[in-house]
A and B are shown apart, each in its own frame.
Chain A
């Protein structure tokens, strides 16, 4: 990998609002998707001939399909309340990373082609033609938005820049200008079933390995089943959970929780991915195609419930969109919401007193919790608003003795993005990822100094991967980020024994 050529920002006690520096991030753009990654998704392989016309036409189509886009392009009054809310602006100082600055890249084109004022007096209202220069700006800056929706919290009209970024990416894809990372990954899901391209046999091997590891560590046969027809629960989890640190510790934890609950469950090699990158590229069709795989797997395996593992945007797509995209789910057990989050499942068991924890197992750590954007601002857990904030914290408190929240302005619905969401978790955007993480790093560093926090738990595969990579840039250790269910896994007291254990136990008894 090329040596980094940028300066890592200094951490500060409070994340200060920088003076604007126009254009400093114009160079930051992800690799473009080549034909082989574009066509499986239904997009042209390279920039089409009459791209300008096609892009405008696509924009018109989206304006007719999405009320959000239409209203948000009209309604902004340039009040500026969002200008200092984006972690990418705070980390880079580039004014086109201010949410309204980012929206304006599309808004000025919208005004030119779709509004009377922009057609008659372009200069007056800041309308411009869709030139190549503008397209380049779109490609750079719409790929500097992690679609975290922090801006939408503070806007008086709820204008959601994520909606505009998604539309922009869909328009660019439709004229052949796609982002390699996202589109390649979606292609892998279609071909192999998951983002990492792990085929069924590799998954089975990994899971078998996990069973052995857990048995060695605990003496209990916790199962990690895959493709088991007739299981009660289908677990859909990000594929990173199958092999990467710290994700895999989370998967181990889910298995232990299921074991203690005494329910049968299974993974699916066909729907071996919870993430749905169709959302990042704003493509309803691709998002739907990916979501339908879960429906097929559920039907095939004849499960009764669906539970999602720890992943932020996957949970957004699952919680908010799965019913829309791949419903109705009337063939599942109506006593449970479809789908459920693993945290909801674990929390319910804790509420019922069905799990026993030895909190001291986590005493070597002082924990803080990172609310992932898509969970915090685009989904829910449990049945009251804000359950997505309370449930993970309740689980941490049940499993750890030492927990401190970061500064109020940086958690819950004000949480800062890890800097790698929205399909930006790619090495070609390292500068953006490091700078965009600064507000989160400031807040983390503060609780480390003030409260002696040692670890940060997260419930999103992207957050975990991003932090593992970015923490060292700020002088911290990559293993300071944890899966929430890793804490559960450490503290859970395994009581339920399976027939296998009893046999093993008998064997031991005989030896006496």
Chain B
């Protein structure tokens, strides 16, 4: 059993490292790459504050997707919002003491889990049913959905069918913080759930999941529409001037 526990402990250290280092690297890369021209998709806000509002609407409501495709919006938003609730619910495994809002959110987290699975199933079926989506899907697009669906289903199964000892799980993760490896319950469903989560963390910085940080760096969405008022010059373009 120690072997298994040690393996998972190592796996999560590794996954957390890859996730953080990989994302940091990508975010730095996005941030240092200049945007030489003003290219907001108009009608665009003319103030910083307006851009912040536009961004909030994109992140919270998926505004552009709503205009783009209602089915994808319904399933995509359901999935992401469900995932958000689930993540909040899971915070209780990682924080001690558990803050009051997180205690409150617990039952909603379960609905979130169900919503997440429904959303993913909807998104995946569209990949088969709509010829245009079938055409643009690579194997990795299917696998990504399979991975997330696997995580959601194993999680729900643990909740509704095969209970596991949540106290021990919490002890395990709390132990990781202190390099004090505590035994992990050898429950196959749990092990599968955790394995998939670790896998997701590892591929995150190398996959299309980069859409999450990418959105914040998208010049069509994050630029202020004020090119006549303010000169906008990238460092490499400045060098052309002399």
Contact = CB atoms under 8 A, between A and B. Distances in A.
A218 interface: no
A124 interface: yes
Nearest to A117: B206
Interface string A107-142: 000000001110000011110000000000000000
B233 interface: yes
A155 interface: yes
A338 B228 contact: yes
Given A67-B219, A158-B64, A95 B135 contact: yes
Nearest to A123: B139
B36 interface: yes
B36 A65 contact: yes
Interface residues of A, number: 73
Contacts of B231: 323-324, 327-328
A71 B30 contact: yes
Interface in B14-70: 26, 29-30, 33-39, 41-46, 50, 58, 62, 64-65, 67-69
B3 interface: no
Contacts of A380: 42-44, 46, 225
Nearest to B50: A385
The listed residue with most B CB atoms (<10 A of its CB), out of A64, A153, A380, A389, is A380
B76 interface: yes
Interface in B187-230: 203, 206-208, 210-211, 214-215, 217-221, 225, 227-230
Contacts of B141: 78
A497 interface: no
Nearest to A288: B240
Contacts of A158: 41, 64, 215, 218-221
B227 A83 contact: no
Interface string A146-180: 00010011111111100100000000000000000
Given A126-B140, A156-B68, A67 B208 contact: no
A132 B67 CA distance: 38
A383 B45 CA distance: 11
A68 B35 contact: yes
A85 B138 CA distance: 21
Contacts of B207: 117, 125
Given A153-B64, A158-B64, A385-B44, A76 B208 contact: yes
Contacts of B166: none
A355 to B, nearest CB: 24
Interface in A57-85: 63-68, 70-72, 74-85
Interface residues of B, number: 64
A117 B140 contact: yes
Contacts of B206: 115-117
Interface of B: 26, 29-30, 33-39, 41-46, 50, 58, 62, 64-65, 67-69, 72, 76, 126, 130-133, 135-141, 143, 203, 206-208, 210-211, 214-215, 217-221, 225, 227-234, 236-237, 240
A153 B58 CA distance: 12
A378 interface: yes
A79 B68 CA distance: 10
A156 B39 contact: no
A20 interface: yes
A64 B135 CA distance: 30
Contacts of B64: 81, 153-156, 158
Given A70-B29, A70-B30, A125-B140, 6 more contacts: A75-B210, A77-B211, A123-B139, A158-B64, A163-B39, A378-B39
A82 B232 CA distance: 29
A383 B46 contact: yes
B33 A323 contact: no
A80 B130 contact: yes
A307 interface: no
A126 B138 contact: yes
25 contacts: A19-B131, A65-B34, A70-B30, A78-B136, A80-B72, A80-B126, A81-B69, A81-B72, A83-B132, A83-B133, A115-B206, A116-B206, A126-B138, A153-B68, A154-B65, A154-B67, A155-B65, A156-B62, A156-B65, A157-B214, A158-B215, A158-B220, A160-B220, A324-B232, A328-B231
